[in-house]
Structure 1
């Protein structure tokens, strides 16, 4: 298929497809002698994956990094997209219901209790817990939660401050190679800290780093300390885990 046909099917502009080609995100399999781009079925599958990530708010640079990762698995990615989108749909339906009830109250049709006014909001749930349970099992997650719950409020605050300090340290090193002595020393501190309330094997530590870039919630939070930090930590954690084996 040529670029105009692909643009029409995918609902994107020809200019967008040209841009994806220019930055190496989606380079068509073939180009005719006249210079026309020709897209294969595999190219269309890659475009679909790009648009899935784009819909979830991923910047193009991160999408490219994810798709070029040798460990990228299309089926796993699609299952992840489905989980995230179902959760977003659930939250949106909950919020929509709350808005509709609030409008009814404004019109005098119903009276809401104070509890009902806030039933659509939930800031207490850990958005990463379900994913962690799927990857490492209930026992490992429950053990980590129990250790945190055993801490006093002051201890939890101190731990949070220490975590933020390491994030800031790593953010200051992210322009270096993740294999550099400075980066590896800092990531070793991260591994040690995580094991004060968890029981992370080297493989789990390595897998956690991968979650930092696969899950946009992780990426957004970590990159608030410095753009690109999530990917830097992923690479540093992988190197550290492999070296310690």
Structure 2
């Protein structure tokens, strides 16, 4: 099949002027002509245009695109592999950018006056502002939520750094105890569950029945489960059982 310049412009979503420019610089010059002398684009020309527009979308200059397309062995399959690689890289970059924006939104929602560099230093890669928004929707009218907001608004950068360091240290100790074979009702596990309880009370008062409920949520909500399972398989269940055992001990 053959296509006029107007048809190609409509199909590709570009202007006729753009197609003429590509022809003038030798990037896309159809060889066929209509009886009246107008350019006629073939299916091969459309395939080449598709590659041009793809690389252009990724920010490649036209001179570099011409060099890429003129390389020996530059088959359609080779271009598809290259484009897949470039898209994967762009997705990774965009994912990082989304995470960066979410971190900054989270910092603003907490009222933390930090520089962008400080925000990257403190907030982990898996934190999402969506968690904060969901938490407010679920518990925004509770005293615990209000207490948490009041306390965290006064946090400095050093306070958040310590919170993150303490969390990481506790997680390491939890993993070490479980993988070493400590039972959830062992003294070591109970002490760790109590340390976990204290880490919650940095933000709000957490009676032991509430702590039990948090332990249950680590299994009921797959996102919490995944957080602990990524640290060590079985940790979510182990921590839940240790939290319950510790609450039983404290309430005797």
Q: Normalising by the residue count of structure 2, what TM-score does the alignment of the two structures yield?
A: 0.46
Q: Normalising by the residue count of structure 1, what TM-score does the alignment of the two structures yield?
A: 0.47
